[in-house]
């Protein structure tokens, strides 16, 4: 295990500020300026205040309210440079931004996304939540084959350039799901969203989930995560 990921928990941070930090690290890695030669990337965990982000391939029509209404709810809205459609970030949701050099891992983009999904699926197993994938849709789902019951618990949207990644995943732990009522999440109009809190019937310890997820990310990417 000679691949090292430098980890930082940003706590609660404004979306724009976190995006700027990602871009700074991304550009450093693109230029080959890393802290040490053995560094294969960074892993950032963060919670955001209420915010909606629309990927470059998304449709504005999937935002179902206007920005004045969002402001009345204390939410902001950004067009961003990741793939995917619209999603929500907010308190109680664990957002992860892996900024990795995929060449160091010997991975293509599809395999990279698969491993992100796998880390979340394995984390949920610790809580006896059976999650899996929905064919043709990125992310982690519960009951994906039953359209009436299927619900997403983790959204994934990434950007990659010259094998360097940014953006990442949004994992619903204790998320206020009412905020999804104002969008078609990830462009879907016929499938739901959920959280660990909703599935288990009680609020979860976010730090415990973080620790488990870090371990699973370390294992699926065969990497050492350094604080």
**Catalytic (active-site) positions:** 186
Structure tokens at 66: 């206007």
Structure tokens at 146: 């039953």
d(CA 9, CA 11): 6
**Which of 62, 48, 69 has its CA nearest to residue 183?**
62
What are phi and psi for residue 202, nearest 5 degrees?
Answer: -160, 155
Map tokens 């891992």 to a residue: 105
Rg, C-alpha atoms of the chain: 17
Tell me the β-bridge partners of 41. 5, 100
Beta strand extents in the chain (DSSP E only): 3-12, 39-47, 51-54, 76-79, 86-89, 93-100, 132-134, 137-142, 151-161, 164-172, 192-193, 223-226
């Amino acid at each position: 295990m000679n691949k090292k990921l430098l980890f930082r928990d940003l706590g609660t941070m404004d979306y724009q500020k976190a995006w700027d930090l990602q871009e700074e690290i991304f550009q450093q890695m693109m230029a080959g300026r890393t802290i040490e030669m053995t560094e294969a990337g960074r892993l950032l965990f963060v919670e955001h205040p209420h915010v909606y982000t629309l990927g470059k391939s998304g449709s504005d029509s999937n935002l179902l309210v206007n920005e004045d209404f969002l402001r009345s709810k204390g939410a902001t809205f950004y067009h961003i440079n990741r793939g995917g459609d619209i999603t929500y970030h907010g308190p109680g949701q664990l957002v992860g931004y892996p900024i990795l050099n995929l060449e160091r891992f010997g991975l293509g983009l599809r395999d990279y996304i698969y491993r992100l999904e796998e880390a979340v699926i394995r984390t949920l197993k610790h809580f006896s939540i059976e999650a899996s994938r929905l064919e043709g849709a990125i992310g982690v789902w519960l009951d994906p084959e039953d359209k009436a019951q299927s619900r997403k618990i983790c959204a994934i949207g990434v950007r990659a350039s010259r094998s360097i990644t940014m953006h990442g995943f949004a994992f619903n732990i204790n998320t206020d799901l009412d905020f999804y009522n104002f969008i078609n999440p990830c462009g879907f109009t016929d499938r739901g969203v959920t959280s660990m809190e909703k599935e288990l019937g009680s609020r979860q310890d976010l730090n415990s989930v973080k620790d488990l997820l870090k371990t699973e990310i370390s294992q699926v990417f065969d990497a050492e995560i350094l604080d």
